[in-house]
A and B are shown apart, each in its own frame.
Chain A
Amino acid sequence: MPLLEIKNLTYTAGDKIILDEFSLSIESSEVHALLGTNGTGKSTLAYVIMGCEGYKPASGEILFNGKTIDELKIHERAQLGITMAWQEPVRFEGINVRNYLALKSKETDPSMYLEMVGLHPELYLHRMVDKSLSGGERKRIELASILALHPKLALLDEPDSGIDMLSTQDIINVINVFKKNGSSVLLITHREEISLIADRASQMCKGKIVCSGNPEKVAEYYKSRKCLVCDGEVCAYV
């Protein structure tokens, strides 16, 4: 039984179909890369899986450990073991990094999680998770906080994007920690070199999976501009 099973999921925004009869499954301890250019529905999929407000699918089903989670709120999904690192994590005034990493974490010493994302604990534990952090620092701290939760499934929305982005090696390091902890990962990216670190990969276009399987094969397909859905118009390799 897959850890996560998405069956025929359709999500619309107004009259625009963002996810179109979308199906995907992720096994326990699997790292699955979801590849696609901007606007193909990758982040929306993460919000729908997490149960964010305004992201209720029009049809379809999401199963986690074989049970439907469609009616569960975000925190109820989190309590089952699903969590998410947003593409642009929000800031929190008055909460320091130490306390942020301790939120619902069973770990007493959060230092190791900062080291895993390339930050020196002595320089960051006392810092506030507010606008004094750069975008890259905030993103690393968000990843550290997700690692500290030991989730069953981590949804990572473009950890490699933005200013001061994480390097491919940084992301490989983080993914290896998730793997070591037995977590499954849905790794959302638009860079095929990042997708190569996954066990399996899928390419999305116009709310559908257009290619799935071996990451090398999917990366080649992504670069080939031979997408059957858009004929290379939307998901052309840039």
Chain B
Amino acid sequence: MSELDALMKAFGESGGDSSILADKEVAHFVVSGHSILSMQSVEGLEVKAKETLTGISASIRVRKGIKVQNPVHLCFGILHKKGNQKIKMDVRLEKNASAHFIAHCIFPKAEKVKHIMDAVVDIGEDAEMRYSETHYHGVYGGIEVIPRAIVKIAKNGRYFTDFTLITGRVGKLGIDYSVEAGENAVTELTAKVFGHANDDIKIKEEVLLQGENARGLIKTRVAIEDEARAEITGITEGNAAGARGHVDCMEIVKDKATAKAIPIVNVRNPLAKVTHEAAIGSVDKKQIETLMAHGLTPEEAVDVIVKGILR
């Protein structure tokens, strides 16, 4: 079996649809370790990538006014027990362009694996980008995931990102996103993570509302059990008139797990407004009792509640 077939098999086993690679109307970019296995552009969307001495360097550009109809699939994985993957990604959406990227990150056997993503994203005026990243990890926990992104959104631009890691062990996670929003720009950063055993979760997300009437939301949902640890830092700065930001962090803690939430709110313009809410605790007793009154066992009730907040 080729490496591409093996990766697609793992992708299929984790719930993905591997037939997307055969579809000429769907752009994709598939990387295993430091090898580019497949890539495809569509009209108006250009994917360029090369293997370097230190990893993969890729650039994706969506041309002015182009609305990419089908989601662009990015597939990153390491199928071996050990390995490194370092990807440098440069994404640019030109004026009035739009695209939805779906990233599948597959590390089913990781015992000593490191995945680093360094992305620079430039969203042009009136452009919109959606980026959904879902991780499929194995049960061993020997993985380190470090996604870093610096995003700049021009006037009236929109950027929405959704990071999900709820399948398998997290291992060690260090998200570091920084988003700068211009005039009337809108951004929403959502992260959902479920940590087990001795998983170590660090999420730092920053939204700088630089332009007038810029809007930003950081929403984080983390559930941890056993001896897992989580530290969530949500930073929002309101630096222009009419800017509105909100940080919303919820962490559910079970067993001996420990959680920390650090909402940082800075307002440098009297006409800006930034709010935050953070809740850390065990599963709400009244929620459990309500579900138990429907006939669910306490374990089933907790499962329903945790899955709900991570959905």
A: residues with CB less than 8 A from B are 50, 52-53, 73-75, 78-79, 83-84, 86, 89-90, 92-95, 103-104, 145, 149
Contact indicator A94/B311 (Cβ below 8 Å): yes
Residues of chain B contacted by A75 (CB below 8 angstroms): 292-293, 295-298, 301
Contact indicator A74/B293 (Cβ below 8 Å): yes
Contact indicator B289/A53 (Cβ below 8 Å): yes
Contact indicator A86/B295 (Cβ below 8 Å): no
- If A74-B289, A90-B287 touch, does A95 touch B294 (CB 8 Å cutoff)? no
- Nearest chain A CB to B304's CB is how many angstroms away? 7
Contact indicator A73/B292 (Cβ below 8 Å): yes
Q: Give 7 nearest A-B pairs by CB, closest first.
A: A94-B308, A94-B311, A74-B292, A104-B295, A78-B295, A75-B292, A95-B308
Residues of chain A contacted by B297 (CB below 8 angstroms): 75
Nearest B residue to A149, CB-CB: B294
- If A95-B304, A95-B308, A103-B304 touch, does A90 touch B286 (CB 8 Å cutoff)? yes
A103 in complex: contacting residue of B250, B286, B291, B307, CB < 8 Å:
B291
Asked whether any CB of chain A lies closer than 8 Å to the CB of B267, the reply is no
Interface residues on B, range: 20 to 34
- Once the chains are docked, how many angstroms separate the CA of A94 from the CA of B298? 18
Asked whether any CB of chain A lies closer than 8 Å to the CB of B290, the reply is yes
- Nearest chain A CB to B219's CB is how many angstroms away? 11
Contact indicator A92/B305 (Cβ below 8 Å): yes
B294 in complex: contacting residue of A53, A93, A94, A145, CB < 8 Å:
A145
Residues of chain B contacted by A145 (CB below 8 angstroms): 294
Asked whether any CB of chain A lies closer than 8 Å to the CB of B261, the reply is no
Asked whether any CB of chain A lies closer than 8 Å to the CB of B23, the reply is no
Asked whether any CB of chain A lies closer than 8 Å to the CB of B24, the reply is no
Contact indicator B296/A103 (Cβ below 8 Å): yes
Q: List 26 A-B contacts (CB under 8 A).
A: A50-B293, A53-B289, A73-B292, A74-B293, A75-B292, A75-B295, A75-B296, A75-B298, A78-B292, A78-B294, A78-B295, A84-B293, A86-B290, A92-B287, A92-B308, A93-B221, A93-B309, A94-B307, A94-B309, A95-B308, A103-B291, A103-B295, A104-B295, A104-B296, A145-B294, A149-B295
- Once the chains are docked, how many angstroms separate the CA of A92 from the CA of B296? 15
- Once the chains are docked, how many angstroms separate the CA of A95 from the CA of B304? 8
Interface of B is mostly: helix
- Once the chains are docked, how many angstroms separate the CA of A75 from the CA of B289? 8
In chain B between 133 and 175, which residues have their CB closer than 8 angstroms to a CB of chain A?
none
Residues of chain A contacted by B292 (CB below 8 angstroms): 73-75, 78
B308 in complex: contacting residue of A52, A83, A84, A93, CB < 8 Å:
A93
Nearest A residue to B301, CB-CB: A75
- Nearest chain B CB to A163's CB is how many angstroms away? 19
Asked whether any CB of chain A lies closer than 8 Å to the CB of B310, the reply is yes
Residues of chain B contacted by A89 (CB below 8 angstroms): 290
Contact indicator A79/B309 (Cβ below 8 Å): no
Residues of chain A contacted by B307 (CB below 8 angstroms): 94
Nearest B residue to A50, CB-CB: B293
Residues of chain B contacted by A86 (CB below 8 angstroms): 286, 290
Asked whether any CB of chain A lies closer than 8 Å to the CB of B284, the reply is yes
- Once the chains are docked, how many angstroms separate the CA of A104 from the CA of B300? 11
- Once the chains are docked, how many angstroms separate the CA of A209 from the CA of B290? 27
- Using A50-B293, A52-B289, A90-B284 as known contacts, list a sample of 11 further A-B pairs with CB atoms less than 8 Å apart, ordered by residue number in A: A53-B285, A73-B298, A74-B289, A74-B292, A74-B293, A86-B290, A92-B304, A93-B221, A93-B308, A95-B311, A103-B291
